[in-house]
Amino acid sequence: MRVKHHPILGEDRRKEDATIIVDGRKIKAIAGEPIAAALMAAGIRVFRKTPKKNQPRGVFCAIGRCTDCVMTVNGIPNVRTCVTPVEDGMVIETQNGLGKWREIR
């Protein structure tokens, strides 16, 4: 959920001007915001599953330190979504375990 109105920060006038594809589903996002913020705004909380026990993980530190929020972005695994900005048309996948590199054609 986005914080549109804020008593200190005022109105958020940014527009959802980008579309990202998350596990095949189109989601509206703001170009330049972190991928993690766009997913959180869309109510997505599980970003990856752990390699051994297949447990869900999401955002923990949100400043690029803990690596809990890594996902596969445009075919590249282990991308820290909390510090990687959204670009229009990005393809984002929930990462299973250590992830797989997309085959280079």
Partner 1 sequence: MKKTQVAIIGAGPAGLAAAIEIARAGGEVTLLDENHKPGGQLFKQIHKFFGSGEHRAGIRGFKIGEQLLEDTEKLGVNVLLDSPVYSIFEDFVIGYTHDGREKAIQAERIILATGASENALAFPGCTLPGVMGAGAAQTMINVHRVLPGKKIIMVGSGNVGLIVSYQLLQAGADVVALIEAAPEIGGYGVHASKIRRAGVAIYTSHTIQEVIGEDSVEGAVIVGLDEEWRPIKGTEKFIEVDTVCIAVGLSPLAELAWLAGCEFAFVPSLGGHIPKHDRNMETTIKGLYVAGDLTGIEEASSAMEEGRLAGIACAESLGLYSEEKARHLKEKVWARLDALRTGPFGEKRRDAKRKLMDLMEGGADIG
Interface with partner 1 (CB under 8 A), residue from 19, 66, 67, 78: 66
Question: Binding of partner 1 at residue 104 (CB under 8 A)?
Answer: no
Contact 68, 61 (CB under 8 A): yes
The contact mask relative to partner 1 for 20-59 (x = CB under 8 A, - = no) is -------------xx--x--xx---xxx-------xxxxx
* Number of residues forming the site for partner 1 (CB under 8 A): 35
Query: Hey, what are 45's tokens?
Result: 């909380």
Distance CA 100, CA 88 (A): 23
Interface with partner 1 (CB under 8 A), residue from 17, 63, 88, 100: 63
Contact footprint for partner 1 (CB under 8 A): 1-9, 12, 14, 33-34, 37, 40-41, 45-47, 55-66, 68, 82-83, 85
